[in-house]
Structure formats: structure tokens, C-alpha cells
Amino acid sequence: MAGLEENLLAVRARISDAARAAGRDPATVALLAVSKTWPAADVRALAALGQHDFGENRAQELLQKAGELPDVDLRWHFVGQLQRNKAAAVARLGAVVHSVDRTSLAQALGRAGEGSGRLVDVLLQVDLGGPEGELGRRGGADPASVPELADAVAQLPGLRLRGLMAVAPRGEEPRPAFDRLAALAARVREDHPGAVEISAGMSGDLEEAIAAGATIVRVGTALFGDRPLPCGGDRAHQPHESHR
């Protein structure tokens, strides 16, 4: 708990410093805590410290964690690749979906939104490219197709288009990629004035994202600690160790 609190304060300070350095009001940058791989107890502890928004990247894990926390006032976000057959369950939680990258997924979420009578907030995930072989690995729509996808999403009655999301490409300076994302977001906003959010920046590059105009930063490691290696690696698991 002490570690979590320390980490939360440090991340908030990084966000404030980056916003001020960019001439922005820190209140215009929201912190999304990405709790993937961490237990519901950590979400509960962080929520008790005032953190409201939490993100997951696997539907199964999101549903399970949400089921363990029915009494906690928080808002879920989904930031991973989403299968159409999981769309309704994710929408039912009232989750904001950051990773819409194709019309078929938008339609499935739209039907879920209509069926539940609650609009589903969505962001379009943009593939910012990267070294050969990595393209598409993390999901995301081709930037050239994003304005068209935005038009399609805006026409679906069950959805509310909130903005764009991206992960910085590996092996490249993040800032130019975030600038491309911000330019695309401005273009989308011309036709869809409600699409104000830019979800960009993680533990390692949130300063660059905020400088480029991010309104939501998605932070996991710097809050919760290093995630355990996926396949039983030999590195000891260090819960809540400070990231910097």
C-alpha cells in the first residue's frame, strides 16, 4: 500500500511537470491506471487513494476483476485487442473501449450499446507503424483509414466517438509518432467535435505524449511495478517497487 501511494504520487507529479512544461493545465491530462496482471486488491487499494480510471487489455481478466470489485466506484477502460464475441460483455461493464480499429468491432459494440440503452464510449486505435515485422502486432487502424472509420463509428447509434488512441512504435523516438497522432486527432475533430480525447503515453513515454497533446496517459508499470514475465521467467516479481 505504501509503495502504491508513493508510486501514484510520483506519477501524478510527472504528469503535472510534463503538462506545465508544455504550457498545459495538468487537469487536462487524465491518468488511466493499467492494472493488467495485478490483482483486484491492488485496484481496490489504488481506488481508495483516489484513482478512478482503470484499464485492462484482456476481456477475461477485466470481467473477472470487475466481478471482484462491485462495491468500488471506478470506471473501466479496455485497451487491448478485442474479439467481437467479447464486445457485449465489455460494454455491459460501462467500459470505455480505446481499441476500436475496425468497423466490425464497432458494429458489435454499437449493438451492445443499443441493447443496454447505455452509449459505449469508444476511441479509435491508430497503428503508428514501427520497424518491419511489428506493424499491426499491437493492433490499430492504418492512419489513412481513420477518418473513414470515425465517420462509420459516428453513425452507429449505440456508440459515442471520444477520440483516438495509440501505442508509440518501438525502436523509434516517440515524440514524432505522438505528433502524427495529434495531427490525425485534429483532423478527426473537424468532423466530430466530440472526439476530444488523445489516449497516448505509458510509463516510459508519458512526458513526450503530454508534450504532443495527450489527454489520457495509460500507466501500468510506474504505478504497480514490473509485471511478472509471461512465461515463468527467472526474474523475481517485485511488487510495487518504484519504477524510477
Question: What residues line the site for ligand PLP (CB under 6 A)?
Answer: 34, 36, 57, 79-80, 167, 202-204, 218-222
153 or 200, CB closer to ligand PLP? 200
Which among 205, 148, 213 has a CA at the least distance from the CA of 186?
A: 213
Cell output for 12: 501524478
Residue with grid cell 487513494, as numbered in its chain: 49
Range list of H helices, the chain: 2-21, 40-48, 59-68, 84-92, 103-116, 146-154, 174-191, 206-212, 221-224
Pick 57 or 158: Cβ nearer ligand PLP: 57
State the nearest-atom distance from the C-beta of 146 to ligand PLP, in Å. 17
Which residues 6+ apart lie within 8 Å of 69 measured at CB? Answer: 40, 43, 44, 47
Residue with Cβ nearer ligand PLP (36 or 189): 36
CA distance 200 to 162: 14
Give the C-alpha distances (Å, rounded to integers) separating 188 from 120, 138, 150: 19, 22, 7
Q: Of all residues in this chain, which one has the CB nearest to ligand PLP in the complex?
A: 220
- Nearest to ligand PLP of 54, 150 (CB atom): 54
Nearest approach, Cβ of residue 58 and ligand PLP (Å): 9
- How deeply is 21 buried, as exposed, middle or buried, from its count of CB atoms within 10 A (0-12, 13-18, 19+)? exposed
Comparing CB distances to ligand PLP, the nearer of 110 and 201 is 201
Q: What is the DSSP letter of 12?
A: H
Considering the complex, what minimum distance in angstroms separates the CB of residue 202 from ligand PLP?
4
107 and 157 Cβ atoms separated by less than 8 Å: no
Report the greatest alpha carbon distance in the chain: 50
**Of 79 and 152, CB closest to ligand PLP:** 79
Minimum Å distance from CB 22 to ligand PLP? 20
Element counts in the chain: helices (H) and strands (E): 9, 8
| Nearest residue (CB) to ligand PLP, 95 versus 167 | 167
Nearest approach in angstroms of CB 226 to ligand PLP is 8
The minimum distance between CB 199 and ligand PLP, in angstroms, equals 8
